[in-house]
Structure 1
Amino acid sequence: MLKQLKGGLGPLFAILALVLTFGAKGATEYMTQEAFLAQAFSGGQPQQGTVWLKGELKSQLKTLMGEGYPKLRVRYWEQQGRTAWVLESVGKDQPITFGYVVENGTIIQARVLMFREHRGWEIHRDAFTRQYQGVSLDGNALSEIIDGISGATLSVHAMNRTAKMALFLADHVNR
């Protein structure tokens, strides 16, 4: 049967090599953590804090997010009632790194810092992330409906989960 293919297996291997070379998208860093923090706190150096995710807090987060958060602790930065959070959530297969700035119980800035998935990268665009500005928690849900992006459903869900987490944890540290 292999002898019946015109040109042998060479063209098949060439196509496979192209797919493997250009089909796999690596990690894309849209903004460094340092740049995100500099943008979030333009006036001075924020204080860094840590929230340990254990006991009742871990349980509450699992209920809020619909899944457990795999890390034991989360670092945050705070200055004059404003907090910044760098959080990760898996889209389809890979973690996506998000940055949120929360003030007075609402998100004032949301960014995709690092994207590692093959699909759904469109969530990094300002037209999408602007939807999170002014959003707060309403029970265990976001106060506003976030419009999805066709082909990026799992990435949008990951961002919604971490947005809820940032709001919840900001409230937790400001009590």
Structure 2
Amino acid sequence: MQKNIKNRGEQSSPTVTARPPPRRLAVIDLLGIAALCVGMAIVLLDYITNVAQAEEKFEFYIYFQEPDAFLAQHLGPDTPPPQVLNIDSAAQERIRAVYGRPFPKPRLYYWAADGKTAWIFDDIGKEGYQPTTSGFVVEDGQIVAARVLTYRESRGEEVGEGFFLEQIEGARAEGQALDQPVDNISGATESVEMMKRMALTAIVFDSLVN
């Protein structure tokens, strides 16, 4: 009987399954990743730009006086509750004659005490800028106090200074102008016109409730 004798050094080789080579990123994949990265970078840059612009905008805002302080100064520490002026079509027509355009709100809050009315509202000196907020106190058709509360343009803030505002105080309406001269400020003509326009508008507001 013949036996098959296997050499000890000979061992059966295990079966090895061949693995596929690693998949290389195709050009189209790389382009997709690049496009995604560019898109994310654009969104991030846009966000950073918007934040920077918002911060820059608030940096040049000038806060001359808080509305509450303005009211307390001219109507007393016990400021009366606000009242409402409803601006109907007839009132709108009178306001537009001095404001230069329809008033943007259908109603406006005001305060009244001791025969005086106080008005806080906005106007724009130059198109493209944020509106400036000013306060006026009117008594018997006369401006007795004028204040810029928040100035939001990049130049012309001199209209918020006392030397300018004292030209408006004491003024009455004479047609569609003030009855006393108001000097121009070099480089701030539109802001000067804005303040004159707002003073006339406050006088009209007062006439609508008195």
Unpaired runs of 5+ residues, structure 2, are 1-52
* Whole-angstrom distance in 2 between the partners of 1:83 and 1:43: 15
Greater strand share, structure number: 1
Contact 1:89 1:95 in 2 (8 A): yes
CA drift at 1:43:
5.7
Worse-matched range after superposition: 123-132 or 134-143 = 134-143
Residue in 1 aligned with 2:138? 102
Q: 1 or 2 for the larger relative contact order (CA 8 Å, sep ≥6)?
A: 1
Taking only the aligned residue pairs, the percentage that are identical comes to: 37
Unpaired runs of 5+ residues, structure 1, are 1-19
CA drift at 1:158:
1.1
* Whole-angstrom distance in 2 between the partners of 1:37 and 1:99: 9
SS at match of 1:131: coil
What code does the residue aligned with 1:151 have?
G
Larger Rg: 2
CA drift at 1:73:
1.5
* Whole-angstrom distance in 1 between the partners of 2:182 and 2:108: 25
* Whole-angstrom distance in 2 between the partners of 1:43 and 1:96: 25
Q: Which residues of 2 match residues 1-175 of structure 1 at below 5 A?
A: 25-42=59-76, 44-92=78-126, 93-174=129-210
CA drift at 1:46:
2.1
Instruction: Output the aligned Cα RMSD.
Output: 2.0
Please, what TM-score do these two structures have when normalized by structure 1?
0.82
Contact 2:94 2:204 in 1 (8 A): no
Deviations 1:53-83 (A, max 9, x none): 2211111111222222212211110002111
Please, what TM-score do these two structures have when normalized by structure 2?
0.69
Equivalent residues, number:
155
